[in-house]
Amino acid sequence: MVELEEPQSPAMEGEFDSEVVSEGSSVVRGDPLQDGDGPPKVDSAIEVLHEKVKKQVIKEGHGQKPSKYSTCFLHYRAWTESTKHKFEDTWQEQQPFELILGKEKKEMTGLAIGVAGMTSGERALLHIGWELAYGEEGNFSFPNVPPKADILYEVELIGFDETKEGKSRGDMTVEERIGAADRRKMDGNALFKEEKLEEAMQQYEMAIAYMGDDFMFQLFGKYRDMALAVKNPCHLNMAACLIKLKRYDEAIGHCSLVLSEDENNVKALFRRGKARAELGQTDAAREDFQKARKFAPEDKAIAKELRLLAEHDKAVYQKQKELYKGLFGPRPEPKQTKTNILVLIWQWLVSLFHRLFRRESLKSD
């Protein structure tokens, strides 16, 4: 199949045409290191960040550490150190946790100190004393933490924004939230142009996080249109990156999200068709391409993909024809066996005696 990007084709164009001066930010994408319920076993050296906070690096990060009032996005799992009871897991909930350093809740003090000592992309095991966690009384609602419980956190710092005011997403106005997402989108576009696909996707993911379902549900009219004008291009750009990285199932998911909002979006139809074709889902791919062609009949990239599918179908038909020809060829003729010469002699003698006997019978009559 051909490469995704063809600048002369509207269906192939990305949203990578904006320029912006990027604010200080850093983002990486991560997944949980292990699937077990217990804390990870870590052999790295222990770094003392505070009398009650110690850190062991699981995976090195990069860049600068966040400063006070930075808005940090992280994933973590938490256990009570004595019983190894897991009481929180943001990976399982598929929702990053937002932490503003210096404005954290009291029970998050130790976690904030640990995060402040990490760089973007770093994964670490934090040992937190109970004094900087849930305290002497613990917590008997959610999460359920016993009194004086030391805590273990497996943490990954996804990324952070160096905002001066330390404003969370929930405290932002609609315009501020859409603007923050748009800046990340444009940062992602710049990274995409440099072929830094993973870094670009990280920016798009964070932009999409600003446009979460809870936020979109509250919007209507022009504000919803403004938000979709940022969110949908991020999904489309994510799909473009994922196709280049051969992660086709994920690309299909992002395109389908756009099509749930805009069922006739040509770029979403084209890129989903492209991903489906790469996975061998030719019927579904053809359906996407044909629908896209209705709205962009002159698009050369769409025509090319439909032509490639037709050639593929023809090649498959020829192979099947050859296969069936071998399976259901003409019935072979039975081989003739040589008749035994003795049998022929015996048949001749019987016939001779029969004629002689008949002749004698006629004479007697």
Q: Tell me the per-residue pLDDT of 102-119, one tens digit each, with 9 for 90 and over.
A: 989 999 999 999 999 999
With respect to residue 37, please indicate whether it lies within any of the assigned structural domains: yes
Residue 263, Cβ density class (10 Å: 0-12 exposed, 13-18 middle, ≥19 buried) = exposed
Give yes or no: residues 152 and 174 share one domain. Answer: no
Q: What was the pLDDT predicted at 176?
A: 87
Give yes or no: residues 258 and 147 share one domain. Answer: no
Instruction: Give the DSSP letter of residue 77.
Output: E
Q: How many domains does the chain have?
A: 2
Q: What was the pLDDT predicted at 1?
A: 37
Give yes or no: residues 50 and 152 share one domain. Answer: yes
Q: What was the pLDDT predicted at 30?
A: 45
Residue 314, Cβ density class (10 Å: 0-12 exposed, 13-18 middle, ≥19 buried) = exposed
Question: Which helix (H) or strand (E) is 151 found in, with range?
Answer: strand 151-161
Give yes or no: residues 180 and 298 share one domain. Answer: yes
Give yes or no: residues 176 and 279 share one domain. Answer: yes
| C-alpha dist (Å) from residue 263 to 4, 145, 190, 203 | 21, 47, 28, 25
Long-range contacts of 303-309 (CB under 8 A, 24+ apart): 304/2, 305/2, 305/270, 305/273, 305/274, 305/277, 308/1, 308/2, 308/277, 309/277, 309/282, 309/285
Q: Positive or negative, the Cα torsion across 19, 25, 28, 32?
A: negative
Angle at 90 between CA 202 and CA 253, to 5 degrees: 50
Give yes or no: residues 139 and 244 share one domain. Answer: no
Give yes or no: residues 189 and 307 share one domain. Answer: yes
**CA dihedral of residues 290, 294, 300, 304 (deg, nearest 10):** 10
With respect to residue 2, please indicate whether it lies within any of the assigned structural domains: no
Q: Tell me the per-residue pLDDT of 128-161, one tens digit each, with 9 for 90 and over.
A: 999 999 999 999 888 899 999 999 999 999 878 8
Q: What was the pLDDT predicted at 335?
A: 57
Give yes or no: residues 33 and 94 share one domain. Answer: yes
Give yes or no: residues 153 and 53 share one domain. Answer: yes
Give yes or no: residues 138 and 228 share one domain. Answer: no
What gap in Å lies between CA 300 and CA 278, rounded to an integer? 19
- 307: Cβ contacts below 8 Å, ≥ 6 apart: none
Residue 294, Cβ density class (10 Å: 0-12 exposed, 13-18 middle, ≥19 buried) = exposed
Q: Which of 122, 137, 161 is the last residue of a domain?
A: 161
| C-alpha dist (Å) from residue 182 to 58, 78, 90, 281, 337 | 33, 33, 25, 34, 87
What gap in Å lies between CA 107 and CA 138, rounded to an integer? 9
With respect to residue 11, please indicate whether it lies within any of the assigned structural domains: no
Give yes or no: residues 145 and 277 share one domain. Answer: no
Give the CATH number, domain containing residue 130.
3.10.50.40
Query: Closest by alpha carbon to 177, among 163, 191, 189?
Result: 163
Domain that holds residue 89: 25-161
With respect to residue 362, please indicate whether it lies within any of the assigned structural domains: no
Q: What was the pLDDT predicted at 120?
A: 85
Q: Give yes or no for a contact between 174 and 222, defined as CB atoms under 8 angstroms apart.
A: no
Give the CATH number, domain containing residue 225.
1.25.40.10
With respect to residue 14, please indicate whether it lies within any of the assigned structural domains: no
- Helix and strand numbers (H, E) in the chain are 11, 8
| C-alpha dist (Å) from residue 225 to 261, 271, 287 | 11, 22, 28
With respect to residue 319, please indicate whether it lies within any of the assigned structural domains: no
Q: Tell me the per-residue pLDDT of 157-196, one tens digit each, with 9 for 90 and over.
A: 987 887 655 567 777 888 988 998 899 899 999 999 999 9
With respect to residue 320, please indicate whether it lies within any of the assigned structural domains: no
With respect to residue 3, please indicate whether it lies within any of the assigned structural domains: no
Question: What residues in the chain have per-residue pLDDT under 50?
Answer: 1-8, 17-33, 35
Give yes or no: residues 156 and 39 share one domain. Answer: yes
Q: What was the pLDDT predicted at 163?
A: 65
Three-state DSSP at 148 gives: coil
Instruction: Give the DSSP letter of residue 44.
Output: S
